[in-house]
Amino acid sequence: MGSIRKTGQAVAFYGISAVSLFLLLFPFFVMLSTSLKQVGEVYSTPPTWIPKVVYWKNYIEIWQQYPIGRYISNSFFIAVTCTILNGLLAVPAAYAVSRLRFAGRKMFMYMFLVVQMFSPVIIIMPLFKLMAVWGLLDTYQSLIITNTVFTLSFSIWMLSSYFNNVPVDIEQAALIDGCSRVQTITKILIPIAAPGIVTTAIYTFISVWNEFMFALTFISRAEMRPLTVGLYNFIRLWTINWHHLMTGAVIGIVPIVILFMIAERNLVKGLAAGAVKS
């Protein structure tokens, strides 16, 4: 009886999983399939599910015709730098919020929420002027600074809740043993809260990697563009090179997917430990 119920359950699980996977991944299938089609087949009716002729050359053409490698390394550099800076700024702040009895957690949460109330589109004009005054247009710095700051309040909020979960006793013991505050942070807090820090870092990385509006506005030189803007420029006035666009999309999405695969377990654990038990 139990085993039948179990089999039934398993069938249901796999069935539902399959349907949701199909719905969620359908566009990616379209992407993959189109990226392997020749121009002629892209515009065939009825459309084909699997390319009649698998045309790998799109992947070569895209490397030859567009500085796609440059776009990727731009995105990567910006995202990594932001993630590191974000960590450096957020960890002490989150520590202060969580330990020094500073009534700031609520404040950071509100700050974070206030930031979310303004779509980048809304504040892009004053930000652009700010960057112009600072002479940072067309630099990585402009994107690094903006993205770091825009992800900061979320990081502080998240991290502080992880830190809250670390028992204060351990830390006090360390303090009594002669550790400085900084040592307690680096030696005790950070290792214990590692999953949370990783989660926050990944979240930051992805937000920055996917950022579009700032990059579109601050960067005008082609060689400085991150991948999102680089690919967006495949939409041209008179035509969209769909096959190349999709090829570029595959190239752009793969690194993130790999990152997810590596970090997925941590991500859920981190979210569980942090956001939930607040």
Contact pick of 60, 168, 170, 240 for another protein (by CB under 8 A): 240
Regarding 3 and contact with another protein (CB under 8 A), the answer is no
Contact pick of 78, 79, 145, 201 for another protein (by CB under 8 A): 145
How does DSSP classify residue 47?
P
Count of CB atoms situated within 10 Å of the CB of 146 = 24
Contact pick of 123, 168, 170, 173 for another protein (by CB under 8 A): 123
Regarding 183 and contact with another protein (CB under 8 A), the answer is yes
Contact pick of 67, 80, 188, 233 for another protein (by CB under 8 A): 233
Q: With CB under 8 A as the contact rule, which of the stretches 51-59, 168-176, 190-198, 254-262 interacts with another protein?
A: 254-262
CB 83 within 8 A of CB 155: no
Q: With CB under 8 A as the contact rule, which of the stretches 52-60, 169-177, 190-198, 261-269 interacts with another protein?
A: 261-269
Considering beta carbons, is residue 198 or 213 the nearer one to another protein?
213
Contact pick of 53, 54, 60, 125 for another protein (by CB under 8 A): 125
Count of CB atoms situated within 10 Å of the CB of 59 = 17
Measured from the CB of residue 105, what is the shortest distance to another protein in angstroms?
11
Phi first, then psi: give them for residue 61, nearest 5 degrees: -55, -40
The β-bridge partners of 240 are 235
Contact pick of 144, 166, 193, 201 for another protein (by CB under 8 A): 144
Regarding 62 and contact with another protein (CB under 8 A), the answer is no
- For residue 240, give the 3-state DSSP assignment: strand
Regarding 68 and contact with another protein (CB under 8 A), the answer is no
Which residues, in sequence order, are CB contacts of 112 under 8 Å at separation 6+? 153, 154, 156, 157
Between CA 16 and CA 48 the distance in angstroms is 26
CB 154 within 8 A of CB 203: yes
Residue with tokens 């500085």: 67
- For residue 235, give the 3-state DSSP assignment: strand
Contact pick of 58, 74, 83, 153 for another protein (by CB under 8 A): 153
Contact pick of 7, 53, 69, 265 for another protein (by CB under 8 A): 265
Total residues interacting with another protein, rule: CB under 8 A: 128
* Positions in 27-46 near another protein (CB under 8 A): 27-31, 33-34, 39-40, 42-46
Q: Which of 161, 133, 136 is nearest to 147 (CA)?
A: 136
C-alpha separations of 148 from 198, 204, 258 in Å: 16, 8, 23
* Positions in 88-117 near another protein (CB under 8 A): 88-90, 92-93, 95-97, 100, 102, 104, 106, 110-111, 113-117
- For residue 166, give the 3-state DSSP assignment: coil
Measured from the CB of residue 192, what is the shortest distance to another protein in angstroms?
17
C-alpha separations of 107 from 153, 166, 239, 272 in Å: 10, 21, 48, 22
How does DSSP classify residue 220?
-
Regarding 175 and contact with another protein (CB under 8 A), the answer is no
Contact pick of 1, 49, 70, 78 for another protein (by CB under 8 A): 49
